[in-house]
Structure 1
């Protein structure tokens, strides 16, 4: 999604505006990826690395001789959770930025929403590797951020609009505890907050129920939803 359609055009336009001194020759663009190699998520390089390489190859063919694009993958293959990935990424990219960048090249970076604040002062175009929080697309907090995978608030508002369309106002949210990804817990939190913001127009009765990934806990959660709501419930579980 990084190099497709309007996102790629915005990328090129940004470089042309900010670096007119090199507009007479090929623009050297380096895409720096901080995606982890393999940590159980769909954005890991074991699943996306080939697609990135093909996208860069296609971009160089399509936009030659105006563009010379390259891809730099920065990862530690031993990282297995978000904390390890974020900490390693900050150290690795900071060293690269201060010691190895070329003043005649321009850069874009693929970051996670956990560590983008450390890089926003560099004036690099930033793409999120998945769903983004509101602050990633806030013009003041992250002026160069682009959310190619949607925002947490966007997913939440879509869910509530779907409920409004079907006139579902009693909502039970079943949330798995101790999930590897924080995505579902964040969506659940957003759902509660945004539903409260709708209170002037619609009255949502939202109930959050936690469950463990064992049969007894899951059955108890489903029974709770069954007795409380007539089918309008959401189960957030990591698979």
Structure 2
């Protein structure tokens, strides 16, 4: 009986020991599974976020590079367009300057070197005292003016009005301004818009002319008649 009791005790002890081992193994396996789940989950969540961040950073870099290339191309196109526009503007300005210069030269030729013996000039013998011939020209025109606030008559030889009258005297007689001797220049009939000047050439003082000028608004002084005198009555 004693032996059977001992055997039962040993059998129960062995079963309990076996259960403990089994529980330990199961608990270990469960712990391993839990650890693996934690590791995999962490990799999925945290590793995935890193990948997303990296992908977003790479995408931003690509976008910035593409934008930089686009801006560089746009700036290059704008610079090229501005350069072409500047070149075109310069060409236009040069053409305008050339046209202005040609117009100025044409006007200068029109107002200089007027020959009292040219076909356009009408000359007549005169019965007036001290007048040899009278000259008119339907093509005479105003010599232009720099006076912007209306006509300001002046006897000051440094004034614009006097200089413009001198230019008109030269235009009417064909005597260059630098060779022109003005013996008299003043109002005719008391009007600020009508003057008479007695002039001769330094190169040929034997010929004296009396020139009548009329002021034309916006056009300046215009010759209306030239008299060739027998003698200089203003000397």
TM tier relative to shorter chain: under 0.3
Relative to the length of structure 1, the TM-score reads 0.20
- Specify which structure has the higher proportion of helix: 2
Largest Rg, 1 or 2: 2
